Structure 1
Amino acid sequence: MTLQNEIDQKVKEIHTDGYPMSLGELINMYRDGELYLQPDFQRFFRWNDTQKTRFIESILLGIPIPSIFVARGESGIWDVIDGLQRLSTILEFVGILKGKDGETLSPLALQGTKFLPSLKGKKWEDKYDLENSFTPEQRIDFKRSKLDVKIIKKGSDEEAKFELFQRLNTGGSSLTNQEIRNCLMIMSNKDFYEWLFSLSQNSDFQDTLPLTDKQLIEREDIEIALRFFVYRHLDVSILSGSEDMGEFLTNSMLDILKSDDFDLENEAMIFKKTFSLLNNILGENSFKKFDATKNKFLGAFLVSSFEMISIGISKNLDFYLEMDEEELIKKIKDLYQNPVYLDTTKRSGIRAINRLKILSSLSETEFSV
């Protein structure tokens, strides 16, 4: 197939439209249930009140706002793909934004800005404090302001909205790669997201990961749990070594979501038993480097250790559950003296995907029974 044929085929699979809409129209669509903002996403989009105020200020001053992207569902409802934080801020300001449990959130009170210092303390409408409320004229002008809306129309390729969300929210976004993956999971299979999130909170798993507060806020524990399942089912022979690790994890996750062979119940059992074993014998040292000269585990959590140890044990779990604990601890300590491990982890500039290929093969060798 030629390049032009590929372009022509894909163009036919995605149908789009777009036009300016007033904020009043968008507000009414949300109020009537015709515009859907995924409430679960609100935990990942973290604008503070200063950022929200600056966005409202931009609308008031007529500063151009980037387009909003939506996908039209079977019932005609628009599902927001990009622009959730912008729309959420508008809806929170006018006092109709609903949280995850369906409750209406408290209206946003604005802060003073460099250009509009009198915004400080202003609300959309407070009948008990008219002095700090927008005037009727200001509310009308605000609702007449327009945003450009791009629409993926009904009949487009079902995966188009996932691809669009990923592209629009990668690069220049305040979201981490894993937060984007979490959103993709919620969009495509919320049950899987809740399953993975629940496992990431498993006490044995958490105890083996001495993560910082920042890492936990950015949900790196969920990414590590996802890596466990991706690596367990990885055929390293298909990796070229040129893949970007972030894209690889995302694409592997989407493959799992589409798979009919991924046994959630069995995978959860293996996950829990693997980390129960590791927590019992090493606790938070499970994935720290062992320093033979000091005869102790040192440093922070290492992805390289995780790639070797958790996967190797999980693939031969029954055997290692029966192994003498001291013998297993020695096996883990010896890994850090293995020439392949030392060469791979000390070599500067090695791509994460190549490190994974090498250490997965090493894990297969060292933990085979």
Structure 2
Amino acid sequence: MSLESQVSERAKEIHTDGYPMSIGEVISMYREGDIDIHPEFQRIFRWNDGQKSRLIESILLKIPIPPIFVSQRPDGVWDVIDGVQRLSTILEFVGIYRDEEKNLRPPSALLATEYLPDLDGYQWDVGERAFSDVMQRDFKRAKLEFRIIAKQSDANAKYDLFQRLNSGAQLSQQEVRNCLLVMLNNDMFGEVVELAEFDSFLSSVPLSEAKESQAYRQELVLRFFLHAGYAAGVTELPKEFGEYLTDWMRDAARRYGGPDTIIDSRTFEQVFLLLDQALGEDAFRRYDGRRHLGPFSIAGYEFVTAGVVANLAHWQARPDALAEKVRLIWNAPEFKSNSGTGVSPRRRVPRLVNGARSFFAEG
């Protein structure tokens, strides 16, 4: 197929439209339930009061802000793909924004900004420093640019667009995955978050503050289930690991809740109960023959969890022997030759997962 044919064929799969809409119209749509802001995203997108105030300043001064991307669902409701924080900031400021539990958030107060220092302390309609009727009308008449993916577009279009729009954003790869998962299957997202907070998982996987802030625990939960169900051989992955994990997650979200679901909370909890009891915070730290050293090791995590979950019944019957078996991996050829800085995740993961299953089948 020629390039021109490919362009023509793929372009038919995505139908878009775009037009400006007043903030007043957006407020009405939100009140009527015609636009889904995804309040779950507030766990992921973190704007401080200064950023929120600068957005309101831009609207007041008619400074252009980036367009908001939405996808029209079969029921006609708009799903916000890009622009959640902008819209939630506006709705919170006017006092109508509701959180995940449907509770009304208190109206926000603004801070001084570069061009409008007197904005400090202003609120929409509360107290002495409230917007006048004229300012409220002008604010509601301000226009936001919308880009709409029509409901007849390809089913994956909004997810692909979200990834493209956010690939260079101030989000980690897993934070982008979390947003995708909210849109794909919010129930699965909730279970992943819950497992990431499981006590034995927290105890056996100590992470730096930076990793904690990047949703790395949720990534480790997804990696656990990817390793548990990995069915290919030792050949390197067909794409970079981050992309591979995202594609795997999208498939898992599609299957979640059905007879072939990939997510099994009970198995996850049993594995980490065993590892926490055996070694606690040392479960994935290098062992030099005398003591455990250094930080959490992702290669150690991949090898140990893949091996234990594949042989769970064996180690549940011999929990006292698990600590010594885990300590042996750091000198095991199947681990040492397939880990380290010179081995990419694309090559490392298939080899470690398959090697671990054999290693932990004995002892």
Q: Please state which band the TM-score falls in when normalised by the shorter chain.
A: over 0.9
What residue is the counterpart of 1:338 in the other structure?
332
Q: Distance in 1 between matches of 2:2 and 2:227?
A: 34
* SS of residue paired to 1:273: helix
Once the two structures are TM-superposed, the CA of residue 307 in structure 1 deviates from its matched residue by 0.6
Please, what is the CA RMSD of the aligned residues? 2.0
Give, in angstroms, the shift of residue 289 of structure 1. 0.7
Closer, same or farther: CA 324–269 of 1 in aligned 2, 3 Å = closer
Instruction: Identify the range of structure 1 (84-93 vs 185-194) with the bigger mean alpha-carbon deviation.
Output: 185-194
1:224 is aligned, of 211, 220, 223, to 220
Count of residues in correspondence between the two structures: 360
Per-residue deviation at 1:66?
0.6
Q: Which consecutive residues of structure 1, in runs of 5 or more, have no partner in the other structure?
A: none
Give 1:154's aligned residue. Answer: 151
1:189 is aligned, of 185, 188, 195, to 185
Determine helix, strand or coil for the equivalent of 1:336. helix
Give the 3 Å change call, closer, same or farther, for CA 24–189 of structure 1 in structure 2: same
Aligned AA (1:278):
L
The residue number in structure 1 matching 2:266 is: 269
Deviation string, structure 1 residues 46-67 (Cα, Å, up to 9, x no partner): 1000010111111122222111
Q: Return closer, same or farther for 1:82/1:250 CA change in 2, 3 Å cut-off.
A: same
Contact 1:236 1:360 in 2 (8 A): no
Check 1:20–1:213 CA distance in 2 against 1; reply closer, same or farther (3 A cut): same
Structure 1 residue 324 displacement after superposition? 5.9
2:118 and 2:353 mapped to 1: Cα distance? 60
What corresponds to 2:279 in structure 1? 282
Distance 1:98 1:198 in 2: 22
**Any idea what SS the aligned residue of 2:222 has?**
helix
1:298 maps to: 293
Paired position in structure 2 for 1:140: 137
2:352 aligned with 1:355, yes or no? Answer: no
SS at match of 2:315: helix
Moved more, 279-288 or 189-198: 189-198
Distance apart, 1:93 and its partner CA: 1.2
8 Å contact kept, 2:71–2:158: yes
Q: 2:307 aligns with which of 271, 294, 312?
A: 312
Report the secondary structure of 2:331's partner residue. coil
Match of 1:46 in 2: 46
Give 1:5 deviation, angstroms: 3.2
CA deviation map 1:57-81 (0-9, x unaligned): 1112222211100111222221111
Name the structure 2 match of 1:3: 3
**Structure 1 partner of 2:323:** 329
Whole-Å separation in 2 of the counterparts to 1:232 and 1:356: 12
**Cα distance change of structure 1 residues 324 and 249 upon mapping to structure 2, 3 Å threshold:** closer
Equivalent-residue separation in structure 2 for 1:53 and 1:324 (angstroms): 55
Normalized against structure 2, the TM-score is what? 0.92
Q: Is the counterpart of residue 119 in structure 1 residue 114 in structure 2? A: no
After TM superposition, give the deviation of residue 367 of structure 1 in Å.
2.2
SS of match in other structure, 1:151: strand
The answer on 1:215 being equivalent to 2:211 is yes
Contact residue 234 and residue 350 of structure 2 kept, 8 A: no
What CA deviation, in whole Å up to 9, does each residue of 1:138-168 have, x standing for no partner? 2222222211100011211122111112221
Identity %: 39
Which of 253, 266, 277 lines up with 1:257 in the alignment?
253
Task: Please give the secondary structure, in 2, of the residue aligned with 1:20.
Answer: strand
356-365 or 75-84, which deviates more: 356-365
- Which whole-Å CA distance do the structure 1 matches of 2:211 and 2:25 have between them? 39
The structure 2 residue matched to 1:175, chosen from 168, 171, 174, is: 171
d(CA) in 1 for partners of 2:291, 2:152: 60
Structure 1 residues 258 and 86, CA, compared in 2 at 3 Å: closer, same or farther?
A: same
2:90 counterpart of 1:90? yes
1:282 partner SS? helix
In 2, Cα distance between the equivalents of 1:238 and 1:342? 15
Q: 1:154 to 1:324 in 2, by over 3 A?
A: closer
Q: Indicate yes or no: 2:25 matched with 1:29.
A: no
State the distance in 2 between where 1:119 and 1:112 align: 5
Q: CA deviation at 1:219?
A: 2.5
Mean Cα deviation higher: 233-242 or 180-189: 233-242
Residue 179 of structure 1 aligns to a residue whose secondary structure is helix
Aligned residue identity for 1:99? D
Q: Quick check: 2:88–2:97 contact (8 Å CA) kept in 1?
A: yes
My pick for the range that moved more, 182-191 or 338-347, is 338-347
| Structure 2 unpaired stretches of 5+ | none
Q: TM-score, structure 1 length as denominator?
A: 0.91
User: Which segment is superposed worse, 23-32 or 306-315?
Assistant: 23-32
